[in-house]
Each structure stands twice: as C-alpha cells, then as structure tokens.
Structure 1
C-alpha cells in the first residue's frame, strides 16, 4: 500500500519499467558487441591466412627481414627461420642487399634485433657491405617505416618483405600505407612456433593495426 491506500504508486511502476528497459538495452548492447567481436575475429583470422609468398617472385632492390625477439646474443629460433628463408632468396638472386630491422628488446641485451640479424647473416657468409641495419624499430609499422627511409636514401624502389606467413598480411598492408612502390612477399611457415598462440596474438595485432590505419586516414 502507498500512503494514499491505492497499492503500488504509478511512479514506482514507471520507474520499474524504465529499469527493465535499461537492463534489456544493456543486455542487447553487450550481446551485439560480443557477436561483432566474434565476427571480427573470424574475419581477421581468415584475412591473416590469405597471405602467401609472391609467385612468381621477380625480386627487388632489397630484401627486408622484419625483426623478432633476440635470445641473449643470438636471434631466437623463430627469427632464425626468417633469416634462413631470406638467405635462401638472396642466394637465388632475388635481391642483392638486405635490410635487417629491429630495435633493442631489453635494456640489458648486447645487440638490437637488427645487429643480431646482421651478425647471423655475416656468419652465414653474406658480405657485410650487402647488409643495412636498422636499430630503432619497436613495431612492424616502424620496421617498414624506417626501412623505407633507408630505401629512399639508397635510391631503391622495390623490396621483398620477409617474415612468417601469419605476419604477412599485416606487413603488406602497412607497406601499402607507407607508399612502397611494389611489394613482394617472401613468407615462411614456422616449424617450431605454436601457431595457435601466434595467430591469436596476430589477430590482436591486426585489430590494433586497423585502428591505427583508420586514425591515419582521418589525419590526412
């Protein structure tokens, strides 16, 4: 009874209806966002898996090996896979020079990713004069941005981008965004890394990249 003896007040009834509607819209919004997120992850996974090595590969002025983590003074096993594939293409005559790109993983490490890759290539018989080292990059975007600066300085216009298959789609989109004239991809599958883990991480990285790309479009 309300104070007028008329049962539940109209104000309380309206308030309850509004509360019910609010909760319903919150649930609808949450479910919609969840569905959109799942659909985006499915699309991103599909798009990531579309990347393939350029075939036929005509080659370029330079092969750009994108950085990955160092294990102490040595490239990690995953990074060695990229380096070994780059060496294969180099020895096949696909390009005459390397750009190895990547900054310092941890402050206490002796070498940057770029320096570690340079050392590995020299140990495999590549002349030091054929290797250009980029030591500042901390992301794929910076890998390709700073490599493009080296290319402009050296008068090069074409490149083969070397990385793992799961990373190729994002790398090619970033290169397009940065104005690379002609992109070819040299992609290698990993025999040692967990693809479930790395492809899951790549979905997140690809999502972050698409957000950055949207911001870049608005800034133009």
Structure 2
C-alpha cells in the first residue's frame, strides 16, 4: 500500500504552479496589438522636431535682405563713380576749350564790334570791363570796325546806370562819336548779350560782328554765337592784366557747363530761346 501510494504521490505533476509561471511569462498579445494600432502621441510630440531647413529659413531671409541692400548700395556707388568720372572728363574738356582759344589772325574786317557787358563800379566800368572796352576801341581806331555795340542791362550792385550806358559814357570820354555807339540795355547773361546785341545789329543793317570779351570768356561766347548763327561772327578775346586767371577760368568752366545744358534744353524745346 505504501509503495502504491508513493508511486501515486511521485507521479503527481505540479501543473498548477507551472501553468501559473507560464502565464506570467507569456507576452500580452492584445496589448501589443493595441499599441500597434494606437501610436503614442506623447512620444511623437517630444521626438518630432522642426527640420533643419525650416529652422534656418528665417535666418536665410534676413541674410538675403541684407545682401540685396548691399547689392543696391554697390550699384549706386558704381553709378555715382561713373557719373563723377564722366562729369570730370566733360569739365576737363570744357576747361581745355577755354584755354585753347586763340584770337583770329589777322583780325578780320567787320561792320561792328559787340562788347559783352560786365560790372560797373559806382556807375563806371570796372577795371575788367575797361579792358574789353579798350579792346573794342583798338579795333575801331585800327579801322577794323565802324561802329561799337555795347550790351548789358542794369546790374544789381547798386548801380543806377545800365552796363551799356556806363560803357557808352566811357567810350564818349575816349573820343568815340555818339553816332558810332549803339546801346543794348536789357541783357542779363552772355547768351542775351549776343542774342539781343544781334537784334540791335539787325535793325542797323549790320551783317558781320566781332564779339569783344576776355580770353577766358571767348570760347563760350563763340559757342553761343554759333548756336544763334544769324550772321557772321568773330570773337576777339583780350588778355586780362587785372583779373585772376585761375579764379575766372574755373568759374568760366562751370558757366560753360551750364550753357551747354541750357543749349540742350533749348534744342529739345524745354527752354525758351528768348533768353537764359
């Protein structure tokens, strides 16, 4: 009996305990399936980060804007430098024209001399204007001209006489007959000196004119006469002994440049040719 009982007891299997351990070791298949169906949103939120391209986009835009501004600035600087170079070359060319003037040789015969006005001092011609008048006086005494046209309006330096009237009185004191002196009392610029002086010449039947001015002023006067081009003109420039050549040549370069601009505006119809 004992042996049978022992056998029976030895053959008893510890099934419950073994099955319990197996169940604990088995993976939860349902949980795995559920986790596969439902992604972990919290994990996605923490792991997900903006791509490098998106993160750097604003910085790229800032650099691009700065780059465009720098490009525009460089373009403006280049344009300014180019314009300055062109202006310098142009002014240099005008300065050469001023200094390359030579009076006609020999001085031709003409119907009249046209003296371009300048300042009066206490209603008398300034030393510079006297030099121009003395040049016209030489032409008259040499028989190169028969009459003298004096051109110039009222100066704004306190004078009570027009430049033309002041010049007329100077020539009368030099024994030039009044009948040989013609007045133009309205001109306010070199262009008007030539234009209005020419109108006086036309009324008197004068066909050829020698314009009398200073050497530094002669190139512009000649260019203006060529623009008006209504009669035969010559230009006689006197050398100054009383005026600063450096100052007046520099000033004349700017005045010549302004005249060329005025000439262009008149040619394209944006300025009246009646006076500048």
TM-score of the superposed pair, with normalisation by structure 2? 0.76
SS at match of 1:137: coil
1:116-168 per-position Cα deviation (integer Å, ceiling 9, x unaligned)? 10000000000011000111000000001111111111111100100001111
Range 6-15 or range 210-219, more displaced: 6-15
1:159-208 per-position Cα deviation (integer Å, ceiling 9, x unaligned)? 01000011111111111111232111211111110111101110111001
Tell me which of the two structures has the higher relative contact order, counting C-alpha pairs closer than 8 angstroms and 6 or more residues apart.
1
Corresponding residue of 2:162? 112
Structure possessing the higher radius of gyration over alpha carbons:
2
Corresponding residue of 1:84? 134
Corresponding residue of 1:14? 64
Range 105-114 or range 95-104, more displaced: 105-114
Corresponding residue of 1:149? 199
Alignment partner of 1:217 is 2:276? no
Counterparts of 1:170-181 in structure 2, within 5 Å, are 170-181=220-231
Alignment partner of 1:183 is 2:257? no
Corresponding residue of 1:30? 80
Instruction: Give 1 or 2: higher helix fraction.
Output: 2
- Of 36, 40, 43 in structure 1, the residue corresponding to residue 90 of structure 2 is 40
Range 29-38 or range 63-72, more displaced: 29-38
Corresponding residue of 1:159? 209
**What RMSD over aligned residues (CA atoms) do the two structures have, in Å?**
1.7
Give the CA deviation at 1:50.
2.1
Alignment partner of 1:130 is 2:183? no
Q: C-alpha distance in 1, partners of 2:109/2:175?
A: 21
Q: C-alpha distance in 2, partners of 1:6/1:82?
A: 77
| Contact 1:158 1:180 survives alignment (8 Å) | no
TM-score of the superposed pair, with normalisation by structure 1? 0.94
Aligned length: 218
Stretches of structure 1 that go unaligned for 5 or more consecutive residues are: none
SS at match of 1:59: coil
SS at match of 1:58: coil
Q: C-alpha distance in 1, partners of 2:157/2:102?
A: 35
Give the CA deviation at 1:25.
0.8
Q: C-alpha distance in 1, partners of 2:84/2:265?
A: 23
Corresponding residue of 2:252? 202
